[in-house]
């Protein structure tokens, strides 16, 4: 008898625990909305495979991204794999047999792939699940075992970080743009290739979810990178876009249906479309290096850029990078479990003067770009370039993803015409009682998860700092006296309005509650919402006084408590 139910009634960790404790062998299929589905395979209660059609990165691409293999090695392995008869070796095995990677590396990456998939599934707050018993292990079983406890813990750890990331990336519909005043623009910063490619796609129109689709990475990865870029002051909210209702955002590409689609999902595209099929950049300039640029070469150095304005190159890179990251069939579920957009962000679309992000980038870097076509932010984001059908199918045929299930559970990734969850829905009965009773480990885990979900984060810190003085003219004077004075060159520069100040203005117009905007920076600075306007190179002199004061809400009793608690730790 199948085990079926709703994720609103039973969380996925609960279901995992139930299957694990009953040591069942079978496949757990999860569906959220009409086009998002995933499946987790169990052998005697232990996970050995997982996949979803939401976001997934094929094994080969993971290995290339991690520089475990070269793109040419992947291409060769895919060629060998394609020549194998049905039921032949999978890509991973081919790579091992050809000596490109070791078994250990293969297992590590497959485990990571499984964990990433399950983590994505665990974020679904609504949907339906259906566990089907299988009499024996199936083709997907490659002998790997993933401890469900570890998977849940890893998911919880990531959720813990996710909860923090949400402070700055509160929704997958949030839109970022390049900051107009990135930390005074006097420092140099190096970026990883993935961060660089993502930064180039941040244009003030793409939401976080769209960036994830465009780069083929998970929401978590993209949100984490954006968090870092935002924290470093390179990004700011595109206010006018965040106010756009999510429904107006460009729809994600619909998953194809039918046998071909199922095949496509089972055998995702491993290689990039050939250059002849890549959308041609609008610019005539084609200076894009053929190979990924080493991180060293991506050093953004203001002086160098000023001496030799590379604007056309950047423009060309931008265009081609967009072309390179053609989204795969990554359907977005209708009921994507995203954190709610704060009220002030979800309000009516404010009238905001359009800004040119490229120009902003130029201002940031102190370089002059060529004529740039002005984009209206009121317009929906441009549709992502899509490969031609012919190219897509050819790529599928030639580039198979061996670690995806083959020929055995196509329905795992293909939405069924009609849900079949009514008949045996677990709204009552012994199974529910069994799950509701919660195995001991679940009971132990749950408080931890709840604690993490409700942890005070920086709002607690803000409360503790509320007693401190609000930034006043006196403080500003102190700061000025404390040496945080821009150099003469900086003083002469017209400093653009700081992002939080702009945001505050919009919030006031919308009549929203400013407290909703609290983020780490605001908390850490005692409620000050502006980014620090500090010159990097100006260190205060010894006799210029101190600008910062300790948290005066903390007294001796509290310190003694901390000492006592730390000793017992």
Partner 1 sequence: MQSVKIVVTGPFNAGKTTFIKSVSEITVLSTEREVTDTSSPAGGETTVAMDFGRITISDEVVLYIFGTPGQERFSFMWETLSEGMLGFVLLVDATDESSMGDAAAIVSFFRNMSSVPFVIAANRVGDGDEALETIHERLGLEPSVELLAVDARDRESVKNVLLALLYRILESME
Does 486 bind partner 1 (CB under 8 A)? Our answer is no
Does 157 bind partner 1 (CB under 8 A)? Our answer is yes
Q: Which of 70, 79, 192, 469 binds partner 1 (CB under 8 A)?
A: 192
Stretch that binds partner 1, among 58-66, 407-415, 439-447, 530-538 (CB under 8 A): 530-538
Does 284 bind partner 1 (CB under 8 A)? Our answer is no
Taking residues 414 to 453 in sequence order and writing x for each that binds partner 1 by CB under 8 A, - otherwise, the string is: --------------------------------------x-
Q: Which of 136, 276, 296, 492 binds partner 1 (CB under 8 A)?
A: 296
| Residue 191 or 400 having the CB closest to partner 1 | 191
Q: Which of 299, 436, 453, 476 binds partner 1 (CB under 8 A)?
A: 299
Cβ–Cβ under 8 Å, residues 174 and 338: no
Instruction: Give least dist CB 158 to partner 1, A.
Output: 8
CA distance 149 to 157: 12
| Residue 80 or 547 having the CB closest to partner 1 | 547
Per-residue tokens: 464: 């503790």
CA distance 481 to 474: 10
Match 């990475």 to its residue by tokens: 217
Written as one string, the DSSP assignment of 427-448 is: SSSHHHHHHHH--HHHHHHHHH
Does 540 bind partner 1 (CB under 8 A)? Our answer is yes
Residue 424 CA: distances (Å) to CA of 1, 159, 290, 432: 9, 31, 55, 12
Per-residue tokens: 133: 């018993």
Instruction: Give least dist CB 225 to partner 1, A.
Output: 9
| Residue 443 or 553 having the CB closest to partner 1 | 553
Instruction: Give least dist CB 479 to partner 1, A.
Output: 9
Instruction: Give least dist CB 304 to partner 1, A.
Output: 15
In b/e form, how buried is each residue of 254-273, taking b as 16+ CB within 10 angstroms? ebbeeeebbbbbbbbbbbbb
User: Which helix H or strand E contains 186, and what residues bound it?
Assistant: none
Does 276 bind partner 1 (CB under 8 A)? Our answer is no
Return the C-alpha torsion angle 419, 423, 425, 428, nearest 10: 160
Cβ–Cβ under 8 Å, residues 106 and 92: yes
Instruction: Give least dist CB 234 to partner 1, A.
Output: 10
Q: Which of 38, 387, 402, 526 binds partner 1 (CB under 8 A)?
A: 526
Give one word for 457, left, alpha or beta, with left for phi > 0 and alpha for psi -120 to 50: left
| Residue 104 or 568 having the CB closest to partner 1 | 568
Q: Which of 460, 497, 508, 509 binds partner 1 (CB under 8 A)?
A: 460
Does 472 bind partner 1 (CB under 8 A)? Our answer is no
Stretch that binds partner 1, among 87-95, 367-375, 411-419, 555-563 (CB under 8 A): 555-563
Does 464 bind partner 1 (CB under 8 A)? Our answer is yes
Sign of CA dihedral 300, 303, 309, 311: positive
Does 133 bind partner 1 (CB under 8 A)? Our answer is no
Does 454 bind partner 1 (CB under 8 A)? Our answer is no
Per-residue tokens: 214: 């465009």
Q: What is the 3-state secondary structure (H, E, C) of 336-380?
A: CCCCCCCCCCCCCCCCCCCCCHHHHHHHHHCCCCCCCCCCCCCCC
Does 536 bind partner 1 (CB under 8 A)? Our answer is yes
Please enumerate in sequence order all residues whose Cβ is within 8 A of that of 168, keeping only pairs 6 or more positions apart, or say none: 226, 227, 230, 231, 519, 520
Q: Which of 482, 486, 499, 500 binds partner 1 (CB under 8 A)?
A: 482
Q: Which of 190, 368, 408, 420 binds partner 1 (CB under 8 A)?
A: 190
Does 493 bind partner 1 (CB under 8 A)? Our answer is no
Does 480 bind partner 1 (CB under 8 A)? Our answer is no
Does 547 bind partner 1 (CB under 8 A)? Our answer is yes
CA distance 445 to 394: 47
Does 184 bind partner 1 (CB under 8 A)? Our answer is yes
CA distance 547 to 558: 24
| Residue 195 or 272 having the CB closest to partner 1 | 195
Q: Which of 229, 278, 7, 252 is nearest to 129 (CA)?
A: 7
Q: Which of 160, 256, 411, 490 binds partner 1 (CB under 8 A)?
A: 160
Q: Which of 58, 409, 484, 503 binds partner 1 (CB under 8 A)?
A: 484
Taking residues 211 to 240 in sequence order and writing x for each that binds partner 1 by CB under 8 A, - otherwise, the string is: ----------------xx--xxx-------
Give one word for 334, left, alpha or beta, with left for phi > 0 and alpha for psi -120 to 50: alpha
Per-residue tokens: 521: 């920076």
Does 559 bind partner 1 (CB under 8 A)? Our answer is yes
Does 489 bind partner 1 (CB under 8 A)? Our answer is no
CA distance 403 to 258: 21
Q: Which of 65, 82, 189, 288 binds partner 1 (CB under 8 A)?
A: 189
Does 65 bind partner 1 (CB under 8 A)? Our answer is no
Give the number of C-alpha atoms closer than 13 A to the C-alpha of residue 398, restricted to the C-beta side. Answer: 14
Residue 388 CA: distances (Å) to CA of 217, 237, 242: 22, 34, 31
Instruction: Give least dist CB 157 to partner 1, A.
Output: 5
Near partner 1 in 161-180, by CB under 8 A:
161, 164
Tell me how many residues contact partner 1 (CB under 8 A). Answer: 69
Q: Could you give the angle at the alpha carbon of 128 between the alpha carbons of 126 and 131, nearest 5°?
A: 140
Q: Dump strand ranges (E) for 168-246.
A: 176-178, 235-237
Cβ–Cβ under 8 Å, residues 349 and 323: no
Does 398 bind partner 1 (CB under 8 A)? Our answer is no
Q: In this structure, what DSSP letter does residue 301 have? A: -
Instruction: Give least dist CB 476 to partner 1, A.
Output: 13
| Stated length of the chain | 569
Binding site residues, partner 1, CB under 8 A? 157, 160-161, 164, 183-184, 187-192, 195, 227-228, 231-233, 295-296, 299, 452, 455-456, 460-461, 463-465, 468, 482-484, 521, 524-526, 528, 531-532, 534-537, 539-542, 544, 546-551, 553-556, 558-563, 565-567, 569
């Amino acid at each position: 008898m199948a085990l079926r139910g709703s994720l609103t009634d039973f969380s996925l960790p609960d279901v995992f625990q139930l299957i694990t404790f009953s040591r069942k062998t079978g496949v757990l299929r999860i569906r959220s909305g009409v086009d998002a589905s995933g499946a987790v395979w169990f052998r005697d209660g232990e996970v050995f495979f997982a996949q979803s059609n939401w976001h997934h990165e094929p094994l080969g691409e993971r290995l290339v991204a991690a520089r475990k293999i070269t793109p040419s090695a992947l291409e060769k392995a895919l060629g060998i794999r394609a020549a194998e008869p049905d039921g032949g070796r999978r890509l991973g095995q081919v790579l091992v047999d050809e000596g490109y990677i070791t078994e250990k590396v293969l297992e590590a990456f497959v485990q990571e792939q499984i964990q990433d998939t399950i983590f994505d599934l665990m974020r679904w707050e609504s949907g339906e699940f259906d566990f089907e018993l299988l009499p024996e292990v199936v083709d997907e079983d490659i002998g790997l075992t993933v401890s469900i406890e570890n998977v849940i813990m890893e998911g919880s750890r990531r959720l813990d970080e996710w909860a923090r990331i949400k402070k700055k990336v509160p929704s997958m519909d949030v839109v970022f743009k390049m900051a107009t005043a990135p930390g005074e623009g006097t420092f140099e910063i190096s970026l990883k290739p993935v961060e660089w490619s993502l930064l180039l796609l941040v244009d003030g129109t793409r939401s976080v979810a769209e960036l994830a689709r465009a780069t083929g990475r998970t929401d978590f990865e993209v949100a984490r990178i954006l968090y870092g870029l935002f924290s470093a002051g390179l990004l700011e909210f595109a206010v006018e876009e965040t106010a756009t209702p999510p429904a107006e955002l460009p729809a994600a590409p619909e998953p194809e249906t039918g046998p071909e689609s199922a095949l496509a999902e089972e055998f995702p595209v491993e290689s990039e479309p050939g250059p002849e099929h890549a959308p041609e950049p609008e610019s005539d300039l084609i200076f894009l290096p053929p190979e990924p640029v080493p991180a060293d070469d991506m050093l953004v150095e203001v002086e160098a850029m000023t001496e030799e304005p590379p604007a056309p190159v950047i423009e060309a890179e931008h265009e081609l990078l967009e072309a390179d990251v053609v989204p795969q069939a990554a359907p977005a579920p209708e009921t994507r479990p995203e954190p709610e957009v704060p009220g002030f962000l979800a309000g009516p679309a404010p009238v905001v003067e359009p800004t040119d992000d490229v120009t902003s980038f130029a201002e940031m870097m102190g370089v002059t770009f060529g004529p740039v076509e002005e984009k209206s932010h009121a317009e929906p984001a441009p549709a992502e370039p899509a490969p031609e059908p012919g190219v897509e199918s050819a790529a599928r045929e030639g580039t198979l993803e061996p670690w995806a299930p083959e020929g055995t559970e196509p329905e795992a990734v293909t939405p069924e015409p009609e849900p079949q969850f009514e008949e045996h829905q677990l709204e009552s009965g012994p199974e529910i009682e069994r799950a509701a009773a919660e195995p001991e480990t679940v009971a132990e885990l749950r408080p931890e998860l709840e604690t993490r979900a409700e942890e005070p984060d920086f709002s607690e810190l803000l409360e503790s700092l509320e007693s401190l003085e609000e930034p006043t003219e006196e403080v500003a004077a102190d700061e000025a006296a404390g040496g945080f004075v821009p150099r003469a060159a900086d003083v002469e520069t017209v400093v653009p309005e700081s992002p939080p100040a702009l945001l505050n203005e919009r919030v006031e117009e919308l009549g929203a509650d400013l407290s909703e905007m609290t983020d780490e920076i605001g908390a850490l600075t005692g409620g000050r919402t502006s980014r620090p306007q500090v010159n990097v190179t100006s260190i205060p002199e010894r006799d210029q006084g101190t600008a910062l004061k300790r948290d005066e809400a903390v007294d001796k009793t509290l310190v003694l408590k901390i000492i006592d608690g730390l000793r017992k730790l």
